[in-house]
Amino acid sequence: MTPLLYVLIGPAAAAGAIVRYGIDRAITARTQRFGLGIVVTNVLACFLMGLTWQAWAGHGAAWALIATGFLGGMSTFSTAVLDAAVEIRSRPRISLALIALGLAACIGAFVAGAWLMRG
């Protein structure tokens, strides 16, 4: 990897984080469901990661910018866990289900994206 690629990964990650924030805010504003926006964003990022993995894994710069940069910034397991932790006292079952279903959906989305790209 070149030094320029290291510099470009940062803005790609920032762009992914901005997309994550926008999707989360839009879904939360419409549904009033705390945590749902992050789950949806993570599932979408995992689906896109599956597509990307099949298309560009091992292709250096494209892989690094899209997978590590943009999609790495877009997805966030730590925020999903934080959302569940905030809600766990008032709604423990829903919080635990959010984590479990979110993880299962992310794995399924990744597999679906990879399968779709493999064709």
> Is 16 within any annotated ligand binding site?
no
pTM for this predicted structure: 0.87
65 falls in which pLDDT band (50, 70, 90)?
very high
**Domain, as residue range, for 14:** 3-118
- Amino acid in the structure at residue 64: A
> Is 69 within any annotated ligand binding site?
no
**pLDDT on residue 48:** 96
How many distinct structural domains can be found in the chain? 1
